[in-house]
């Protein structure tokens, strides 16, 4: 397995379950949306964006431009997540999924660009 594929799989292991939970508006996600002052319908859109980003990274392994676009979109989404966590006064552990996913996406970009 190439390094870029590993980054995609690891990012998907974070993005897909969280995206599905947001899309389905499970009780924990409803609480998180309320905590951040985000309407549940908008939180569902965030979940959809997470799922689309994960799919885009996977497609990007074959169609490079899709991967770059998905990675860019995910980095913007994750930056927004970090801002939301900061504004809500969340402990650093609550930001860990966003930080880790952002690092994985950056890793994907670096390894994909270098052909590792």
| pLDDT of residue 115 exceeding 90 | no
What total of structural domains would you count in the chain?
1
pLDDT (tens digit per residue) in 30-78: 999 999 999 999 999 999 999 999 999 999 999 999 999 999 999 999 9
The pLDDT value given to residue 103:
97
The pLDDT value given to residue 105:
96
d(CA 22, CA 95): 16
Residue identified by tokens 């908008």 is 42
Q: Work out the mean pLDDT of the chain and round it to a whole number.
A: 95
The pLDDT value given to residue 112:
85
> Is the pLDDT higher at 86 or at 4?
86
d(CA 93, CA 25): 22
d(CA 60, CA 110): 13
Collapse the DSSP code of 116 into the 3-class scheme (helix H, G, I; strand E, B; otherwise coil) and give the result.
coil
Structural domain that includes position 65: 3-114
The pLDDT value given to residue 116:
62
pLDDT > 90 fraction of the chain, expressed in percent and rounded: 91
Burial of 61 (0-12, 13-18, 19+ CB in 10 A): middle
The pLDDT value given to residue 2:
86
pLDDT > 70 fraction of the chain, expressed in percent and rounded: 98
Element (H, E) at 106: helix 92-114
User: How remote is the C-alpha of 96 from its chain's centroid?
Assistant: 12
């Amino acid at each position: 397995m190439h390094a870029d594929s590993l980054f995609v799989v690891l990012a998907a292991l974070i993005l897909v379950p969280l995206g599905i939970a947001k899309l389905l508006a499970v009780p924990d996600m409803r609480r998180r949306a309320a905590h951040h002052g985000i309407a549940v319908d908008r939180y569902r859109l965030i979940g959809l964006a997470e799922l689309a980003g994960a799919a885009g990274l996977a497609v990007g392994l074959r169609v490079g431009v899709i991967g770059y676009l998905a990675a860019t979109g995910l980095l913007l989404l994750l930056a927004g997540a970090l801002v939301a966590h900061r504004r809500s006064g969340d402990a650093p552990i609550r930001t860990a999924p966003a930080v880790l996913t952002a690092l994985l996406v950056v890793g994907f970009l670096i390894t994909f660009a270098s052909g590792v």
